[in-house]
Amino acid sequence: MSSAAAPVASVAATSASGMVDTLLRTWETAYSASPAERALGLLAAAWPEYDRSHWRRLCLGDRDACLLLLQKGLFGGRLHAVAACPACGDRLETDFDAGEVCPLPTQMPSPREPLLLEHKDYRIYFRPPCSDDIAALDDGAGRGEGATLLLQRCVVSAHRGREPVAAAQLPTSLRRRVIAAMADHDPLADLRLAVECPSCRHAWSASLDVAGYLWEELDDWAQDLLAEVHVLARHYAWCERDILAMAPTRRRFYLDMVQA
């Protein structure tokens, strides 16, 4: 059994042991939650000075940049990705640095103010999509229906001259302009990696699910750590609190003696 080293403290943690307890509680609470709620729970646990509504209203690119910063603080800045080549099916593995995917924030981002798009006699205020917008989409909705719902949520106001216009009633070409402007103002909302297969030289763009990656890292860490607690508690009859309070090196020392 490999020793589950405690992640380094996040910017909000006051002690390593406190962060271990916080992470385990967050993992336990979010285990059955949706991927979006898991991401929000991790951010709220790491930076408790910001309430959950702050994270919900961040545009997706800013949210994922914060998740990458948390990934770097907890488990290191190197990420490992596995993909299958869509052309030949070969399994590819690659390592890259979190900062290569997008610039990591040096200051906590805030929810974006509405942006203005003017076209002919139309004036449209809109904002890039946030976590709440994605959560509101129906999983069974088609691509066109989902885009319409997203537009209705993200268009703050629209006018033709002095007359208000509903987002769904905007001309098709103008709706496309608004959707394109959303993407332009939040280019990190869809993080993608340039990949080339060494076998067949096929090149493509692979999507990176930052929230999913971080959750898998946390899930592996938590399950390894609880397995260590089980072994030591069963052998020495120590309580979970005392085992978790140990430094990883000391815990590893006892595990090695148990397994000798």
Reading the chain (260 residues) residue by residue, the pLDDT tens digits are 445 544 433 444 444 567 788 899 999 999 999 888 999 999 999 998 898 899 999 999 999 999 999 999 889 889 998 889 999 999 998 888 988 888 899 889 999 999 999 999 999 999 999 999 988 886 656 666 778 889 999 999 999 999 999 999 999 999 999 999 999 999 999 988 888 999 999 999 888 999 999 999 999 999 999 999 999 999 999 999 999 999 889 999 999 999 88
Please give the pLDDT value at position 137: 81
pLDDT of residue 140: 59
Strand 91-97 to strand 115-119: parallel, antiparallel, or no bridges (unpaired)?
unpaired
Using CA atoms, how far apart are residues 215 and 210, in angstroms rounded to an integer? 9
Residue entry with tokens 């979190």: 98
91 closest CA partner among 192, 195, 191, 197: 197
How many structural domains comprise the chain?
Answer: 2
Supply the pLDDT for residue 210.
Answer: 93
Q: Do 24 and 103 belong together in one domain?
A: yes
Domain region containing 68? 16-107+194-259
pLDDT at 102: 87
- Are residues 204 and 92 located together in one domain of the fold? yes
Residues 135 and 232 in one domain: no
Residue 9 lies in a domain: no
Q: Are residues 122 and 251 in the same domain?
A: no
φ, ψ at 123 (rounded to 5°): -130, 120
pTM, full prediction: 0.87
Nearest to 39 by CA among 22, 59, 57, 64: 64
Q: What is the per-residue pLDDT for 13?
A: 43
